[in-house]
C-alpha cells in the first residue's frame, strides 16, 4: 500500500510514519508534505496514493483547499483536532478521522477498516469531502459567543466580541477585554482555539490568540516573523511565529 502524509508538524508526521511501519512494514510512504500549496503540486505531478493521512490545519491554510482544486480518488484518514460537528460527515461513508495525539491502536483500526472497504473509496471520497465542507460552513454559526469567567468567588459571563486576546502567563490561561480587564480561565489555549470563531480570532503562536479588532499595526520582524501592536497594549512583544505568517496574512486579508 502506498501512503501520502500531509502534516506540517515534524513530530506528528514522524510519529505517523513510525506507527505505519510498525503496523505493516510493507507500507510505502510516498512523501511527507507540509503545506496546501506543495500538496497540490505533488498531486498534480504524481500518481495518486492508495491512502492519504491528512491534517486539517496546515501552516498555509486548511487542507480541505487541496480537495477543492484536485480530484482525489483515494481513501483519506484525517488526523485532526476538529470536533464532532465538522467530522460527522466522515462517519457516513467510512472515511475515518483520528484525534491527535495519534496512537497505534487507533491508526491500526483505521488501516484495517480501509483494507475491508477500500473499493468504496473511489466512488465516495469526493462526496464526503464536499459534505465535510458543508458541515464546516454550517459550524461557523456554532462557535461560543460568551465565556464564563471567575473573579474570586464571583462568576460572570463575558461577551466574546469584547475579548481582545487570550494568552498564557505562568502556565495559566487568561483573556484580556477591550476595556483592559483581565480574567483567568478554566480552559487551556487549545480548547479556546476550538471554541472561538476563526474568522474573528487567530492563534499567532503557542502562547496567544488575538482578535482581529485588537490588531493596531503589523511590523516585519526578524527571521521572517511579524510583530504586532495590540490594543489594549500587551506587556511583552507579540510575535506571529514563522510557520503562522502565511496563514495570518490570508486571515488579515479577509
Taken in order of first residue, the domains within the chain and their CATH numbers are 2-141 (3.40.50.2300), 147-253 (2.40.50.1020)
CA 228, distance to chain mean position in Å, is 22
Low-confidence winner among 79-83, 96-100, 114-118, 205-209 (lowest mean pLDDT): 79-83
pLDDT digits (tens, 9 = 90+) for 188-247: 898 898 889 888 999 999 999 999 999 999 999 988 899 999 999 999 999 999 988 988
CB atoms within 10 A of CB 68: 12
The model's confidence at residue 32, banded by pLDDT at 50, 70 and 90, is very high
C-alpha cell at 173: 490561561
The residue written with cell numbers 477543492 in the block is 68
* pLDDT number for residue 89: 40
pLDDT value of position 131: 60
Q: How far apart are CA 164 and CA 233, in angstroms?
A: 10
Confidence of residue 34 (pLDDT cuts 50, 70, 90): very high
Between strands 163-169 and 172-177, the pairing is antiparallel
Cell of 104: 497505534
- Which CA distances in Å does 53 have to 80, 105, 136? 10, 16, 19
Provide the grid cell at 105. Answer: 491502536
Q: In degrees, to the nearest 5, what angle opens at C-alpha 128 toward C-alphas 116 and 65? A: 120
Q: Which single residue is written with the C-alpha cell 483519506?
A: 76
- For residue 178, give the DSSP letter: T
Per the listing, cell 460572570 goes with 156
- pLDDT tens digit sequence for 142-161: 688 888 887 777 788 899 99
- Alpha-carbon distance of 171 to 188, in angstroms, equals 9
pLDDT tens column, 38-89: 999 999 999 889 899 988 888 788 887 888 788 777 888 888 765 543 554 4
Amino acid at each position: 500500500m502506498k501512503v501520502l502524509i500531509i502534516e506540517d508538524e515534524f513530530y506528528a508526521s514522524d510519529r505517523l510514519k513510525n506507527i505505519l511501519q510498525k503496523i505493516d512494514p510493507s507500507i510505502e510512504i510516498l512523501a511527507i508534505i507540509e503545506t496546501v500549496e506543495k500538496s497540490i503540486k505533488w498531486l498534480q505531478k504524481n500518481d495518486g496514493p492508495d491512502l492519504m493521512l491528512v491534517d486539517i490545519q496546515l501552516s498555509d491554510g486548511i487542507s480541505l483547499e487541496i480537495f477543492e482544486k484536485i480530484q482525489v480518488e483515494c481513501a483519506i484518514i484525517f488526523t485532526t483536532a476538529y470536533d464532532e460537528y465538522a467530522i460527522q460527515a466522515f462517519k457516513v461513508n467510512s472515511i475515518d478521522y483520528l484525534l491527535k495525539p495519534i496512537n497505534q491502536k487507533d491508526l491500526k483500526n483505521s488501516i484495517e477498516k480501509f483494507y475491508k472497504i477500500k473499493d468504496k473509496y473511489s466512488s465516495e471520497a469526493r462526496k464526503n469531502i464536499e459534505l465535510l465542507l458543508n458541515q464546516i460552513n454550517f459550524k461557523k454559526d456554532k462557535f461560543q459567543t460568551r465565556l464564563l469567567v471567575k473573579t474570586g468567588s464571583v462568576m460572570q459571563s463575558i461577551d466574546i466580541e469584547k475579548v481582545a486576546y487570550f494568552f498564557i502567563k505562568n502556565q495559566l490561561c487568561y483573556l484580556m477585554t477591550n476595556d483592559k480587564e483581565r480574567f483567568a480561565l478554566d480552559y487551556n489555549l487549545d480548547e479556546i482555539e476550538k471554541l472561538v470563531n476563526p474568522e474573528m480570532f487567530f492563534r499567532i503562536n503557542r502562547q496567544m490568540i488575538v482578535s482581529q479588532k485588537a490588531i493596531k499595526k503589523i511590523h516585519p520582524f526578524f527571521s521572517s516573523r511579524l510583530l504586532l501592536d495590540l490594543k489594549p497594549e500587551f506587556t511583552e512583544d507579540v510575535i506571529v511565529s514563522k510557520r503562522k505568517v502565511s496563514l495570518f496574512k490570508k486571515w488579515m486579508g479577509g
